Amino acid sequence: MRVNQLVGYGLVVGLDGSGDQTTQTPFTVQSIINMLTQLGVQLPTGTNLQLKNVAAVSVTATLPPYSRPGQTVDVTVSSIGNAKSLRGGTLLISPLKGLDGQVYAIAQGNVVVASPGGAGGGGGGQQANPLAVGRVPGGATVEREVPGGVGQGDYVTLALNEADFSLANRVVQAINTGMGSGVARALDARAIQVRAPQDPDARVAFMARLENLDIKPGEAPAKVIVNARTGSVVMNQAVKLEPCAISHGSLSVTINPPSGGQAPAAEVSAQTSKGAVTTVPKSASLNEVVRALNQIGATPQDLLAILQALKAAGALRAELEII
């Protein structure tokens, strides 16, 4: 079950002087002339159109699986000329085609543009949201369905989003436990072949049971993502730290191993040259290291340098990604 991408070309009209500058976008003028001709309006030869409220746009949409004629889908319109804003405009009827050149949907409707002062658009006169891109919710009507169904033959194939031998094995075990021995088998780390009834109605019921099976995935690989500009750190629970001590400028970080043979507990401390010390008597997790550094006012650059040092020393058992 897959989606299909659709694309088309259209015109957005009704703009408040923020449309294309027609002297620099001749295709906008040509599109208007062609549209008026099709509607029975003949313009005198040599007419020089000075349009300010029209913008040429690309129209894109995603056709969900099992879409039927008459259903509606959202579309995105993006200026391909030099229009300053699509706010308040209306998309005129635009056919949307697939890669095979066939028209699968027809789009038209009022364009919704996000507020220019959205989240994160506060200072410096900068706009957080682009005005040359908008959406038409439910703006396209499906006219042609993509051949699909629930498969043919004795088998259906399940495809994992990411290749994972452990997860593929768990899926096979869950299906064979819930649906009967020998129903499923893994072809590789991504594809799982499942024997299914041939009757469409029985196959739909079979797939309904299949997609509601409880699959317990394996532990995700340890990963840490750091935003070098803001110092934001995102990590999963699989991240582990080994005992170590690191010094960076006026900062020093010490991770002591658990004491005795009791439950895993460790001490994480961070200090500056001024003597400020923060101690966290919990498990030696990266979360505690980040919290300790934040409490003594470490900068994003300090945090990044320490994480890189932890990784280089082998104390950070995770993949480190910097964005």
pLDDT digits (tens, 9 = 90+) for 53-110: 999 999 999 999 889 999 999 999 999 988 999 999 999 999 999 999 999 999 999 9
For the chain, the domain total comes to 3
Mutual orientation of helices 300-312 and 286-295 as an angle, nearest 10°?
150
Residue-number span of the structural domain to which 291 is assigned? 223-322
Please tell me whether residues 10 and 134 are part of one structural domain.
yes
- For residue 285, pLDDT beyond 70: no
Look at residue 280 in the predicted model and tell me its pLDDT: 42
Contact indicator for 269, 277 with CB cutoff of 8 Å? yes
Q: Calculate what percentage of the chain has a pLDDT beyond 90.
A: 32
Cα dihedral 204/205/210/211 (nearest 10)? 70
Residues 92 and 171 in one domain: no
Q: Are residues 282 and 237 in the same domain?
A: yes
Indicate whether 46 and 163 sit together in one domain. no
Do residue 228 and residue 170 come from a single domain?
A: no
pLDDT computed for residue 294 by the predictor: 67
- 67, part of any domain: yes
- Domain termination site, one of 142, 171, 196: 142
Question: Is residue 122 located within the same domain as residue 36?
Answer: yes
Q: Quick one: pLDDT at residue 225? A: 78
Same domain, 268 and 291: yes
**pLDDT grade, residue 261 (50/70/90)?**
very low
Would residue 241 count as lying in a domain? yes
Q: What is the pTM of this model?
A: 0.61
- Give the C-alpha separation, 249 to 291, whole Å: 19
Query: In sequence order, which residues have a C-beta less than 8 Å from that of residue 309 and are 6 or more positions away?
Result: 246, 248
Same domain, 112 and 203: no
Spatial separation of the C-alpha atoms in residues 53 and 173, rounded to whole Å: 61
Q: Are residues 134 and 163 both part of a single domain?
A: no
Last residue of a domain, one of 120, 142, 164: 142
- Give the DSSP letter of residue 118: -
The answer to whether residue 191 is domain-embedded is yes
Q: Which of 175, 191, 211 is the last residue of a domain?
A: 211
Q: 216 lies in a domain?
A: no
Give the β-pairing of 223-226 and 319-322.
parallel
pLDDT digits (tens, 9 = 90+) for 145-186: 887 767 677 888 999 988 889 899 999 999 999 888 899 999
206: number of Cβ within 10 Å = 19
Q: Are residues 135 and 235 in the same domain?
A: no
Cα distance between residue 57 and residue 81, in whole Å: 7
82, part of any domain: yes
Is the domain of 73 the same as that of 174?
Answer: no
Q: Report if residue 148 sits inside a domain.
A: no
Residues 138, 32, single domain; the answer is yes
Does 304 map to a domain?
Answer: yes
- Report yes or no on 147 lying in a domain: no
